[in-house]
Amino acid sequence: MARFDPYENNGGTCVAVAGDGYCVVAADTRLSVGYSILSRDQSKISELADKCVLASSGFQGDIKALQKNLAAKELVYEHNHNKKMSCPAMAQLLSNTLYYKRFFPYYTFNVLGGLDSQGKGCVFTYDAVGSYERTGYSAQGTGAKLIMPVLDNQLKSPSPLLLPAQDAVTPLSESDAVDLVKDVFASATERDIYTGDKLEIVVINSSGIHRECIELRKD
């Protein structure tokens, strides 16, 4: 007798790196089920608020539902307050939205990146039920276990337990951070069959949001 399973992990990897005055959010575009590739050009990145970008991996149906839900709530906020939602406010909204569905969760693994009210880069990383933390960098998805050790080695974020609290932004320049993201994805695609095809890179800085795409392994 077949057992009903509402979830499917469609794979993929998301990475975000925050710096002083910029944030880099990147994700691959492969959409898989098991050993089958359903799409080589499926974006995992969504622009949500003013200088705020969400990258999600996991179940594609839940990713789309979550993005649609957040976009609707952001629009209501914009009409009520006559301004765009800030990135830290969107981070709290995303946490509340995920926690509200904790008994039948969105099967999504999210990284939110953008600029805070001081213009500094910020990255928020989540589990499936809304527990989140502000960090200097993060990775989620099927390739995260391959990428995080490299980011830890290169960026060395201070412990959140240190007092007084240390600044979590990374010391790299914007161009160096983009190069690092390209390198870690090129590395992850060698070992993770669910990551590949193309890399979509979104850079958020004071001049706006800029996108770039590069090719990755297709096998």
Q: What is the pLDDT of residues 29-68, one digit of tens each?
A: 999 999 999 999 999 999 998 889 999 999 999 999 999 9
For the beta carbon of residue 49, count every other beta carbon within 10 angstroms: 23
Q: Tell me whether residue 176 is exposed, middle or buried, using C-beta atoms within 10 angstroms of its C-beta: 0 to 12, 13 to 18, 19 or more.
A: middle
Distance between CA atoms of residues 16 and 31, nearest Å: 20
Nearest Cα residue to 203 out of 67, 16, 56: 16
- Sorted by sequence, the CB contacts under 8 Å of residue 192 that are 6+ apart come out as 11, 13, 142, 143, 146
Q: Which of 18-22, 164-168, 171-175, 181-185 bottoms out in mean pLDDT, i.e. has the lowest? A: 164-168
> Is it the case that residue 166 has pLDDT exceeding 80?
no
- Length, in residues, of the chain: 219
Residues 148 and 44: their CA atoms lie apart, in Å, by 19
Q: CA 21 to CA 88: how far, in whole Å? A: 15
Q: Which amino acid is at 119?
A: G
CA atoms within 13 A of residue 187's CA, in its CB half-sphere = 14
pLDDT (0 to 100) of residue 165: 64
Is 16 within 8 Å of 26 (Cβ atoms)?
Answer: yes
Angstrom distance (rounded) from CA 3 to CA 22: 46
| Domain residue extents for the chain | 13-216
User: What's the predicted TM-score (pTM) here?
Assistant: 0.90
The SS3 of residue 113 is strand
38 CB contacts (<8 Å, ≥6 apart)?
A: 10, 31, 32
Residue pLDDT, tens place only, 111-159: 999 999 898 999 999 998 999 999 999 999 999 999 999 999 888 766 6
Strand 108-115 relative to strand 121-126, pairing: antiparallel
Which candidate, 92, 127, 125, 104, places its Cα nearest to that of 25?
Answer: 125
Task: Provide the residue type at 141 as one letter.
Answer: G
Q: How far apart are CA 138 and CA 198, in angstroms?
A: 20
**Selecting from 3.40.50.720, 3.40.50.150, 3.30.1600.10, 3.60.20.10, what CATH number does the domain 13-216 have?**
3.60.20.10
Q: How many CB atoms within 10 Å of residue 120?
A: 16
Residue 101 has pLDDT above 80, yes or no: yes
